[in-house]
Amino acid sequence: MTDARNHTGVPMNRLHKAIQQANNRPLLGAALYSYDPVFLEIARYMGFQVVWIEMEHAGISFAEAADLCRMAAGTGMLTMIRIPDARRESVLKAAECGPDMIDIPMVDTPEQVAELVRYARFAPVGARGFFSVSRALRYGIVDNVPAEQQRLNSELTLLAQIETKEALARIEELAAIPDVDLFIGPADLAASLGIPGETSHPKLLKAAEQIVQTARKHNKKIVTACGAADFPHWARLGVDLLFCTNNITALKAGAQLALDAANQAIDLATKGVSKNRQQESVIR
């Protein structure tokens, strides 16, 4: 068996490298809103490159998140965990799962981002607690734990989710924070701007363009998530990573397609039987 201790693992920042290799084409991601390893594998076989593990709204546990990160790594997919907040417990436990990205929602201030950095990065950048046997640190099977910690400082992508008018007003400050990329949340941003549900509204698109332009000025990567109707807007803006489905939506869409097709076939067959019976009645 090959000793992995001297193997530096995946290239330093996997997300940035994958974006570079995509030649200006957005990476495509799928979200898991429940613990669903089967959907993860299906998504990979279909060509999705990134999986989002949802822990803000969904009931996925940290143990399940670690398992999903492990499975995704085995298929070559990148992983993003969205946690509810930037509290030490949330950030640290997510980081120990070994994802490629951690995203915090509802970021309004640089102070929130500073809290994320503090708990996600090891010293001297941050103050992440020492724990040498996590999945993120390969369970301690490395020659030099401090060197591995510094590798993680460079490799783990941190994302601040921009989805309020307060964040929009401070986008210049937020985009200027070193080594933190941006996730645009269109649905909540639309609600905050007074146009709930209108993710194609000119007001929302203008705000999105402002965020993207500011992010580019500071050389930041841009992530977003949207439905099919809004794909053209975000493709035009040139985001780096687009989450375009999730396991619940995909399940509903497939089931609805089958249900509609079955009902249509039954309706046609029923009409045919009814017509034949009417003709038989006339003949008699």
Task: Please give the positions annotated as active site.
Answer: 57
- Can you tell me the distance from the alpha carbon of 128 to that of 34, in angstroms, rounded to the nearest whole number? 28
Q: Which pair of tokens denotes residue 276? A: 């034949």
Asked if 126 and 119 count as a contact pair (C-beta separation under 8 A), the reply is: yes
Identify the CA nearest to 90 among candidates 70, 111, 118, 110.
Answer: 118
As a whole number of angstroms, the distance between CA 103 and CA 163 comes to 12
DSSP state, residue 140 = G
Question: Beta-carbon neighbour count of residue 3 at 10 Å?
Answer: 8
Instruction: Please report, as a single letter, which amino acid is at residue 232.
Output: P
H or E element in which residue 246 lies: strand 241-246
Q: How many CB atoms lie within 10 A of CB 109?
A: 14
- Under 8 Å between Cβ of 209 and 201: no
Q: Are 87 and 118 in contact (CB under 8 A)?
A: no
Report phi then psi at 119, rounded to 5: -95, -15
In the three-class reduction of DSSP (H, G, I as helix; E, B as strand; rest coil), residue 59 is classed as: coil
